[in-house]
Amino acid sequence: MKLSALCLLGVLAAGIAPAQAQQISEPEVTRIISTLAADSMQGRMTYTPGIEKASVFIAEEFRKAGLEPLPGEKDFLQRFITSGRKVLPLDSASAVAEPKHLHNLAGMIKGSSKPDEYVIFSAHYDHIGIQKAEEGDSIANGADDDASGVTAVILLANYFREHAPERSVIFAAFTAEEIGGFGSRYFSRQLDPAKIVAMFNIEMIGKESKFGRNSAFITGFERSDFGKILQANLEGSSFRFYPDPYPEQRLFYRSDNATLARLGVPAHTISTTQIDKDTLYHSVNDEVESLDMKNIADIIEAIAVSSGSIVGGKDAPTRIAPENKD
Ligand SMILES: [Zn+2]
């Protein structure tokens, strides 16, 4: 008795909480990332057959997760067109020069008590395709950028099917981030920003952050109390969210959260990239083998748990000042 009490004290002193069962499965992380980053996807370049294969796979994962299409859509494909740099609705195709067809993938779980308030989890599924060959390899697989983020979105969809949300949750995979953020620009304009409580955009979580394993950073940390809420929900865990350590890179307005952030939504990007020294970034060597699958599963789990009070309808992060455009 005495001994076991002492042991318990020892465990508490070491800061080890009784382990909660891991809910995000590492083999599932590996399966999904490996599929998205496979050579058969040809680097998922926008407007190529490779990205279409990725789209088919993601839609099937959304279906298996039990998501429903967004209001007004018949399936998970959110279709639109581009004309030059313009991003336009599908029905304007006949009125513009050289329309090109694109689509995001988006699905949702309706909230049980606050269905008209939305929380978004997103990542981009396009990448940069075929690049100059290095040692006979010309496919930029984009395992970290951003198959890792899309994997998080798919596994979060599965997680919230098991943990029914109070607010409606949208899961989105954006196209054409790498060539101008076209997908997120279109997506963001289809929603009333006033109804969006928060956006968790997930971009490059494949390798450990400069703060080590079990950590990630949040862009625009100081622009809302989103990060503080997330960290508060992780009390008792060893996981830490940090402010973006690379402010000079201006990452806050360089990713798919930017459009909604400019409209005042607490829309932030969660990442672990060591952007200042990642030699694999945007190269043919951004491969599955360079990723830490266990760390990715832990980060996705931390995102799921840390979003609990927001998805659960209790917390709403402060809004971002719309005039803060940098
Ligand atoms: Zn990216």
Q: Assign 322 a pLDDT band (cuts: 50, 70, 90).
A: confident
Report the distance separating Cα 310 and Cα 303, nearest Å: 11
Ion ligand 1 — residues with CB under 5 Å?
A: 145-146, 203
Report the distance separating Cα 303 and Cα 313, nearest Å: 16
Q: What is the pLDDT of residue 19?
A: 52
How many angstroms separate the alpha carbon of residue 145 from the centre of ligand 1? 5
How many angstroms separate the alpha carbon of residue 147 from the centre of ligand 1? 9
How many angstroms separate the alpha carbon of residue 132 from the centre of ligand 1? 19
Report the distance separating Cα 52 and Cα 41, nearest Å: 8
How many angstroms separate the alpha carbon of residue 178 from the centre of ligand 1? 7
Percent of the chain at pLDDT above 70? 93
The number of residues making up the chain comes to 326
Q: With a cut of 50, say whether residue 96 has pLDDT above it.
A: yes
What does the DSSP assignment read for 56-76? HHHHHHHHHTT-EEPTT-SSS
Q: Domain 23-311 class?
A: alpha beta
Q: Assign 314 a pLDDT band (cuts: 50, 70, 90).
A: very high
